[in-house]
Amino acid sequence: MSHPVPKGFRLAGVYCGIKSNAAKEDLTLIATDSDAVAAGVYTQNLVVAASVTQNRAKTPCENFRVVVVNSGNANACTGERGERDSREMARLAAAAVGGSEPQALVMSTGIIGHFLPMEKVTSGIAAAAAKLGRDNAAFDSAVRGIMTTDKFQKTASRSVEIGGKPVQITAIAKGAGMIGPNMATMLCVVMTDAALSATVAQELLTHAAERSFNCISVEGHTSTSDTALLLASGASGVAPTSAADRAVLQQTLDEVCIELAKLIPSDGEGATHLITLDVTGCASRADAHHIAKTVANSPLVKTAFTGNDPNWGRIVSAAGYAGVPFDPAKVTLTINGMLIYEAGMPAAYDAKLVSESMRDNREVHVVLAFSEGDASVRFWTSDLTVEYVNFNSDYST
């Protein structure tokens, strides 16, 4: 499904030979018509791809021109050669749109520990630059060019009025496995034609990432390449000048990022359930987030959902080893709106009915309530299936 491309942006995706399947694009360019703002959030893994190291040093900035994304090769754990190759990618991409290397960002995703085939990358950048456009075909090819093990495209958009004038936000992402972001394998580019300063863009993106990409997990494995960028062309001429304007823009950006973030665990390799986990009643948001992530990453919890088993014991005990203090006698748990645990004890519930509600719905809603305060977090994860094990035992990282 295509989405409106914000003013001031052009995109293209091409196949250049990085992937073995010629039917799948493997290089994408996203360019601006003139200098633009770029902000980024990145993996917290100590082992990072060359692209992450370089992008961190360049963002936030106010003279961005282009991002080049390759899929099929993460260019991670490739030493000084990998760093040189990433800089060369940036130089080539910038030159293709009339800019210089400091104005270009690079994103790489795929197999770790393999050198980039730079001759293919070079030809791919030239080919993509020649095809840059704003139509549906250009947009869709760019989305396909960033995908690896994804089963479907991940896109989201919103149009919002700021001061009575329209602003467009459109975003693309990839990710299905190795998902445990701390800013999964995930990449995201959010484009907007709003006029933003680099400082404001960074603050908006950081806020949105905390409530979206940092609240998802497939298996808790933080990638070497995780990157989310916010690119603002300013081509609409609309700037959020008041606190109210900024709040509207923040809410809209949050919605776009959350929509994208949910698609990633939903596409988790072999996943049969998308699980929404609301942790409420905590002393702080950090406490709620830590409990949610601990429960979401528990293999026993995840396999219980695979088997449509309302196993309250696995969920509650996972919360108990999260390292966050709480009163176990005041914990409540519901699954799909049905109370199954209350005041530290199992409630009287129809296990067959709860199981059927899990079986008959791909999306499962879990609420784990505490009594320590009023802080809460919404977190998304997937279940853990035999298909996930089979896929990742065959797939070379």
Give the closest residue to 32 by CA, choosing from 222, 271, 192.
Answer: 192
Of these residues, 185, 252, 306, 334, which one is catalytic?
185
Q: Is 192 exposed, middle or buried (0-12, 13-18, 19+ CB in 10 A)?
A: buried
Residue 179 phi, psi (nearest 5):
-115, 110
The token pair at 77 is 């754990």
d(CA 305, CA 303): 5
DSSP secondary structure letter of residue 386: H
Contact between residue 161 and residue 244 where contact means Cβ atoms under 8 Å apart:
no
Helix and strand element counts for the chain (H, E) = 11, 15
Residue type for position 143? V
The token pair at 56 is 């961190």
Contacts of 301 (CB under 8 A, 6+ apart): 295, 311, 314, 315, 318
Coil, strand or helix at 167: strand
DSSP secondary structure letter of residue 335: E
Count CA within 13 A, CB hemisphere, residue 316: 22
Contacts of 119 (CB under 8 A, 6+ apart): none
* Torsion, CA 358, CA 363, CA 364, CA 366, rounded to 10: 180
Contacts of 57 (CB under 8 A, 6+ apart): none
Q: Is 381 labeled as catalytic in the residue annotation?
A: no
The token pair at 337 is 């709106």
Q: In the beta sheet, which residues pair with residue 262?
A: none
The token pair at 183 is 């800013």
What residues act catalytically?
185
